[in-house]
Every structure is written in structure tokens, then in C-alpha cells.
């Protein structure tokens, strides 16, 4: 470890292993480098590793220069050797598979920071539950909030939240990850931060679909507002704190991804609303999350008509028009009845 100073805070540089060589893994590797850490980036694909070593990740972050100093490798053991901290950045549905590869090489007792946003489709498990299942005893944290990979990679000002059940761990990680243009808040509501990040993707798809289908800005605002009610209901059933969901992971990320074509989930919904082909579009985590969130809502008796509609539209059971009619003709109710 090397002694270093960032943003006026005294701290010691860590060896950080970033697992996942996509857009977010690459951006976070750059962010960790700028926070004075010794960064190893694991990508399972040799071509991606070679490209990152050459200074760009053209498949996932085209046109963005990767500063020298990140040690890219397709050997997960090399990435994890002597690591002080691990950032898990594979898509949510791939976390279990990636941890299976990582498990034999994981140093004991180091924090694992979940950076994906989703719920496991087959089991309904939050990502922290997957880690508890596969790597018992590992200190778990989650990093979430409104943060496009391209913005973070370019070093644009961004605020995120780092959560862990132990506030001291969350605070330490937030301090170590923060740098000039990355401001990390801390939280001890791990579940709340996970749920906010996972569910906002479903509404980002819905927002894109509303835009794509030409339903208007008023419908858009109504959908996001009522979607947020559903997010809070499901969050409450997991034990998430309402104030967490009012923060960066939840409301903050809804504001970002429900309003920007830069969001892949929004772009997916946009294509859906325009009747364009969906095959070959970039990762949209909200697709599997919509299906499992709809199932969770049904099983728990939670009223979540927008999530249910998004799930049904995605599996082809109903059209967007039919969903709109169903949502608009539901029995009237008190707005505050959440």
C-alpha cells in the first residue's frame, strides 16, 4: 500500500480489484485510480483486456481514453491477489457466475462492494444475499446512485452513495473512494440502497416506453411519481428505509435514468415504445428485474401496477396501449395511500 492524499483527506492507497470489464467496471477502475488506489481490472475477455491496456475499451466505452495505471487482466486470480477491496461489477444476473470464478481466489475478510443494479431473476435474491450465500462472512457494501459510466469515466462531477450494514465500513469506503469529482455519501441502509438501484431500472424502461409511444410529458411525470410509490412499497417490504429511497439510490437515479436517452434502460423502453427491434440493444438490467419484481409484488400482496404492466409488456402478454388503459381505469384512490 502506498501513502497518498486525495481531496484533502489523508488515506492510504488500497489495492482494489475491479471485477467486470464493461462500461461501469472500466469507469469505476478509472475512478479508483483517480482516488489514488492501485487498480487491477478483471475482464474475462482477452480482447477487452488488450484494448484497455492500449488505452480504450471500444466495445463498452468507445472514445474515452483510459489513463495509464490500470492493470487489466483476464486472470481473476491475478486481479484478486493481495486485494484490500473488491468491486463486483458484472451484471446482476451474472454475479453468481462471476463469484463462482472469484471464490477460490478471494482474500478472506476484505470488503466486497456490489456495483450492479438488479435482483436475481430466478430466486428473487438481492445481490447482498447472493454474496452472503456464496462468500459467508464477507463484509458487504453497495455503491449506487445517479452515475452514468461515461460521465464518471470522463471525470464529470458525480455523487453516489456507498452503503454497508456497518456505518463505519460504509464511511471508510466512501472516504477512500471519493476523489475530486466523485463524491461518495455513506449509508448504513444496505438493503435500501440495493433496492433503489435495482427498481429504478424498471421505471427507466417505462419512461422510455412512454416517450417512445408518444404519450406525452404529463404521462411521463405521472408514471415516474407513481412508480416511485411502487418502489417505496416494495422497498418497505424488504426493510428499506423511506429516506434512503428519497436519496441518490432511488429518487436520484430515477431522475437521471427516467429522463435521459443516455440510460440504456430508457433507450430500451424507447425502442419498445417505438416498436423497434430490441435484439442487440445494450444491457438493460430492468428487463429481468421487472419480471422478478412483479413476482415479488404478487407474492407479497403489494400493489405495483406499473411494475406488473412493464413485466407483462416485456413478456409480450399485453401491449403498451392496453397497459395504459388498464392503468388509467383502475379504481380511484387517495394519493397518499401508499
Ligand X SMILES: O=C(CO)COP(=O)(O)O
Residues that bind ligand X (CB under 6 A): 117, 146-148, 204, 253, 256-257, 263-265, 285
What gap in Å lies between CA 327 and CA 314, rounded to an integer? 16
194 binds, among ligand NDP, ligand X, none (CB under 5 to 8 A by kind): none
Binding-site positions for substrate read 117, 264-265
Can you give the binding site for ligand NDP, defined by CB under 6 A?
20-25, 43-45, 48, 60, 89-92, 94, 97-98, 115-118, 147-149, 283, 285
Query: Closer to ligand NDP at the Cβ: 92 or 209?
Result: 92
Give least dist CB 206 to ligand X, A: 12
In 3D, which of 275, 276, 254, 274 has the Cα closest to residue 265? 254
- How far lies 126's CA from each of 99, 142, 302, in Å? 14, 11, 18
Binding-site positions for NADPH read 24, 44, 60, 117, 149, 264, 283, 285
Q: Single out the catalytic residue among 108, 200, 276, 333.
A: 200
Helix (H) or strand (E) holding 44: none
What gap in Å lies between CA 76 and CA 17, rounded to an integer? 9
Give least dist CB 333 to ligand X, A: 30
Query: Closer to ligand X at the Cβ: 14 or 185?
Result: 185
- State the CB neighbour count (10 A cutoff) for residue 329: 8
Residue 11: active-site member: no
Binding-site positions for sn-glycerol 3-phosphate read 117, 145, 147, 200, 253, 263-265
22 binds, among ligand X, ligand NDP, none (CB under 5 to 8 A by kind): ligand NDP
Query: Closer to ligand NDP at the Cβ: 156 or 338?
Result: 156
Find out whether 203 and 193 touch, Cβ atoms under 8 Å: no
Give least dist CB 101 to ligand NDP, A: 6
Find out whether 336 and 232 touch, Cβ atoms under 8 Å: no
Find out whether 175 and 9 touch, Cβ atoms under 8 Å: yes
Give least dist CB 43 to ligand NDP, A: 5
What gap in Å lies between CA 111 and CA 107, rounded to an integer? 10
What gap in Å lies between CA 202 and CA 198, rounded to an integer? 8
94 binds, among ligand X, ligand NDP, none (CB under 5 to 8 A by kind): ligand NDP
What gap in Å lies between CA 46 and CA 35, rounded to an integer? 26
**Which residues belong to the active site?**
200
Amino acid at each position: 500500500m502506498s501513502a497518498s492524499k486525495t481531496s484533502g483527506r489523508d488515506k492510504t492507497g488500497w489495492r482494489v480489484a475491479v471485477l467486470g470489464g464493461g462500461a461501469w467496471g472500466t469507469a469505476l477502475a478509472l475512478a479508483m485510480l483517480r482516488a489514488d488506489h492501485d487498480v487491477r481490472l478483471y475482464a474475462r475477455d482477452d480482447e477487452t483486456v488488450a484494448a484497455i491496456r492500449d488505452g480504450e475499451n471500444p466495445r463498452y466505452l468507445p472514445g474515452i481514453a483510459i489513463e495509464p495505471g490500470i492493470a487489466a487482466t483476464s486472470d481473476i486470480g491475478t486481479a484478486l491477489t493481495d486485494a484490500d477491496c473488491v468491486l463486483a461489477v458484472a451484471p446482476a444476473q451474472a454475479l453468481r457466475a462471476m463469484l463462482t470464478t472469484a471464490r477460490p481466489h478471494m482474500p478472506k475478510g476484505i470488503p466486497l462492494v456490489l456495483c450492479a443494479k438488479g435482483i436475481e431473476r430466478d430466486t428473487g435474491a438481492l445481490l447482498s444475499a447472493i454474496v452472503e450465500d456464496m462468500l459467508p462472512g464477507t463484509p458487504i457494501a453497495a455503491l449506487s446512485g445517479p452515475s452514468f459510466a461515461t460521465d464518471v469515466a470522463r471525470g464529470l462531477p458525480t455523487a453516489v452513495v456507498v452503503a454497508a450494514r456497518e456505518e463505519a465500513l460504509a464511511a471508510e469506503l466512501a472516504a477512500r473512494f471519493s476523489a475530486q469529482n466523485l463524491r461518495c455519501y455513506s449509508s448504513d441502509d444496505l438493503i435500501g440502497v440495493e433496492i433503489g438501484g435495482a427498481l429504478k431500472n424498471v421505471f427507466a424502461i417505462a419512461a422510455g416506453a412512454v416517450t417512445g409511444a408518444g404519450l406525452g410529458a404529463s404521462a411521463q411525470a405521472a408514471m415516474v411519481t407513481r412508480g416511485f410509490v411502487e418502489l417505496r412499497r416494495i422497498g418497505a417490504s424488504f426493510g428499506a428505509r423511506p429516506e434512503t429511497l428519497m436519496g441518490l439510490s432511488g429518487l436520484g437515479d430515477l431522475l437521471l435514468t427516467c429522463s435521459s436517452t443516455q440510460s440504456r434502460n430508457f433507450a430500451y423502453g424507447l425502442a419498445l415504445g417505438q416498436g423497434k427491434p430490441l435484439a442487440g440493444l445494450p444491457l438493460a438490467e430492468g428487463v429481468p428485474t421487472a419480471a422478478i419484481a412483479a413476482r415479488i409484488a404478487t407474492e407479497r400482496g403489494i400493489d405495483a401496477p406499473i411494475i406488473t404492466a412493464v413485466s407483462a409488456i416485456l413478456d409480450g402478454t399485453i401491449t403498451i396501449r392496453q397497459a395504459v388503459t388498464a392503468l388509467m381505469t383502475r379504481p380511484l384512490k387517495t394519493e397518499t395511500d401508499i
